[in-house]
Amino acid sequence: MNLLIKNGTLVTAEKTEKADILVSGEKIERVAPEIKQVQGAVREIDATGRLVIPGGLDPHVHMHLPTPAGFSADDFESGSRAALIGGTTTMIDFVTPRKGQQLTQALDERLAEASSSLIDFSLHVSPVEWHQKLEDEITNCLKRGIRSFKVYMAYLETIGLTDDVLEKVLAILGKHGAMLTVHAEVGAEIERLRNGFFESGKTEPLFHALSRPPHTEAEAVKKVLAMAKKANCQVYLVHISAAASLSHIEAAQSDGQHVFAETCPQYLLLNDLAYDKKLERALPFVMSPPLRKKVDNEALWKALAKGTIQSTGTDHCPFNLEQKLLGKDDFRKIPNGAGGVEHRLALLYTFGVREKRISLNRWVDICSATPAKIFGLFPRKGSLEPGTDADIVIWNPEIRQTISAKTHHQRCNINVFEGVKTIGGPEYVIAAGKLAVQKGALSNEGLKGRFLKQC
């Protein structure tokens, strides 16, 4: 059946205009000031007073991530459901091979896991060690539509890469025109600080944060950008949290390097006072990088408005309180991460658009269009052009909600945004032409996410 969205205010990264949209099958068929005549059966939605935006694209989620504390609490099905309810219709997750495993084999395994996703998805692939066949494996991934390779400068004991390996990986990616997606934290210094704190009896969550001071992010950013310049490789910096990182990013961008930066709602809205709380209340906030200070929040907002930071993700990686408690006597054992895939659009609308830190168009840009462009998914995703995927959110600017683990759709019994009040939210969400959310409730009939090749 066709879907006709009438009388809405269309907002894309470029423009805001009053127009109607006709959806036919999985695609947007027509956009015009007034669409009157439609052939065949049509369901009409009156979007008077609503914003009509492209579905959100979250470039950074970890569904069903294996850790020593068990899997992250959302799998692809539950996490994509929460995403949809929040207005996100595409996500990019990760492929993290076991040591010794081929990248494409790990990719196949992850594709099987991701097949339960209700929304379209793509994947970043992580080289986690050096070996002679790595270039072949990377080119095999490229042939299969993966252009983004995620490396970790932290977590050296497990999946992190040392500088010499990173240099070799960068050379391969630069040669093939691929993207280095990077978690920038100086792993060696963090390991030293972590172990030092623990050995002197400092075991609480606060010491997770103190063992990852802002300069460990800023120095890693500076270093990887210098290495990427040498290798002529484009870079996407995930979850930038510290104001101290921004001057390095700006310097590289002014120098003409292809450098993109992402931040997340938690680094814009939460701060390190969270770690001063009692154990059970501090545990949810253990994530890497850790929360910073209010001045960092404000610097990140400015960087988003100015364009130094072009993208937002959530780093959605929720763990239940019972999992977090596994580190109650040793902060090094607390699984890192927090959920948020459901809340990104509403949080950035409430605290970004409504508080005039960013414009409406910039909101769409950082939540959808630019991540789609960076990862080779635009204009199929992130636009409202005829011929593109009908992933559309009808946004009611007046919906009021209070975020809570009791009512959210993420499969997790804690929420770092507990009690935060948002204004504005999705009323209808259309995913690949299907009406997936109506009046805030999911109808998952026939929803089936597809793997998206990055081009």
Summarize as ranges the residues that interact with ligand URP (CB under 6 A).
62, 183, 287-288, 315, 317, 336-337
d(CA 248, CA 177): 22
- Shorter beta-carbon distance to Zn ion: residue 67 or 359: 67
390 binds, among ligand URP, Zn ion, none (CB under 5 to 8 A by kind): none
- Shorter beta-carbon distance to ligand URP: residue 283 or 317: 317
- Could you tell me which residues come within 8 angstroms of residue 21 by beta carbon, excluding any fewer than 6 positions away? 4, 5, 8, 10, 28, 30, 31, 35, 52, 384, 392
Single out the residue of 29, 74, 120, 315 in contact with Zn ion (rule: CB under 5 A).
315
- Shorter beta-carbon distance to ligand URP: residue 21 or 65: 65
Beta-carbon neighbour count of residue 144 at 10 Å?
Answer: 17
Instruction: Give DSSP secondary structure letters for 62-96.
Output: -TT---TT-S-S--HHHHHHHHHHTTEEEEEEEE-
d(CA 6, CA 192): 59
d(CA 290, CA 214): 9
Give the interface size with Zn ion as a residue count (CB under 5 A): 1
Instruction: Give DSSP secondary structure letters for 145-191.
Output: T--EEEEESS-TTTT---HHHHHHHHHHHHHHTPEEEEE---HHHHH
362 binds, among Zn ion, ligand URP, none (CB under 5 to 8 A by kind): none
Stretch of 44-52, 137-145, 153-161, 309-317 lying at the interface with Zn ion (CB under 5 A):
309-317
Helix (H) or strand (E) holding 121: strand 120-125
Tell me the closest approach of the beta carbon of residue 21 to ligand URP, in angstroms.
Answer: 35
- Shorter beta-carbon distance to Zn ion: residue 77 or 315: 315
Tell me the closest approach of the beta carbon of residue 337 to Zn ion, in angstroms.
Answer: 7
266 binds, among Zn ion, ligand URP, none (CB under 5 to 8 A by kind): none
265 binds, among Zn ion, ligand URP, none (CB under 5 to 8 A by kind): none
d(CA 136, CA 148): 15
**29 is an interface residue for Zn ion by CB under 5 A:** no
Per the CB < 8 A criterion, the answer to whether 87 and 55 are in contact is yes
- Shorter beta-carbon distance to Zn ion: residue 371 or 433: 371
- Shorter beta-carbon distance to Zn ion: residue 24 or 122: 122
- Shorter beta-carbon distance to ligand URP: residue 315 or 427: 315
How would you classify the pairing of strands 421-431 and 434-438? antiparallel
336 binds, among ligand URP, Zn ion, none (CB under 5 to 8 A by kind): ligand URP
Tell me the closest approach of the beta carbon of residue 353 to ligand URP, in angstroms.
Answer: 26
Tell me the closest approach of the beta carbon of residue 245 to ligand URP, in angstroms.
Answer: 15
Interacting residues with Zn ion (CB under 5 A): 315
